[in-house]
């Protein structure tokens, strides 16, 4: 498993998109970038700057804790769809000191976790693996746990 807390991959500003083979493109999600760590009973959700987010998104922490896989590190984005749009304002409203407000908002407008990358599963540290191998690990992780009847995290 991943020994150190990695930083999420970040988009880089360029004048033109690369045209060489092997590039993958992802849409820009209007959310909070997050690294998700599960080590048996311990669940940590950290922002890209390393600040804990689990307290503000108890529904995401509960989802992660419910996954039968006991050890993993995933890179993704916490998003909050309202009607047909992703609401960054609704996400920001979660960053509130009152736990009662956070719990109410988690029930009224639950957030979702959009996954991009699998950085580790069980004892396998995938940080230095090629993106194609990490993507395959992520798709396998998702398929395995979606079959278990868990609420799906998006890919």
Question: Where in the sequence numbering do the catalytic residues fall?
Answer: 28
Residues 5-42: b if buried by 16+ CB within 10 A, e if exposed: ebebeeeeeeeeeeeeeeeeeeeebebbbbbbbbeeee
Q: At what angle do helices 58-66 and 99-108 cross, to 10 degrees?
A: 70
Tell me the C-alpha distance between 9 and 76, whole Å: 10
Q: Which residue has the tokens 């009607």?
A: 83
From the list 74, 41, 54, 56, the residue with the least C-alpha distance to 145 is 74
């Amino acid at each position: 498993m991943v020994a150190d807390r990695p930083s999420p991959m970040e988009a880089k500003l360029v004048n033109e998109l690369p045209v060489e083979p092997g590039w993958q493109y992802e849409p820009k999600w209007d959310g909070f970038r997050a690294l998700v760590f599960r080590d048996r009973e311990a669940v940590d959700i950290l922002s890209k700057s390393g600040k804990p987010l689990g307290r503000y998104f108890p529904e995401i922490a509960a989802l992660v804790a419910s996954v039968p896989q006991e050890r993993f590190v995933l890179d993704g984005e916490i998003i909050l769809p309202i009607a047909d749009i992703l609401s960054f304002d609704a996400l920001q409203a979660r960053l509130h000191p009152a736990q009662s407000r956070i719990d109410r908002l988690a029930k009224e407008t639950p957030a979702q976790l959009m996954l991009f990358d699998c950085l580790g599963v069980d004892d396998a540290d995938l940080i230095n693996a090629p993106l194609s191998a990490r993507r395959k690990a992520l798709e396998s992780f998702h398929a395995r746990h979606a079959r278990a009847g868990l609420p799906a995290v998006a890919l």
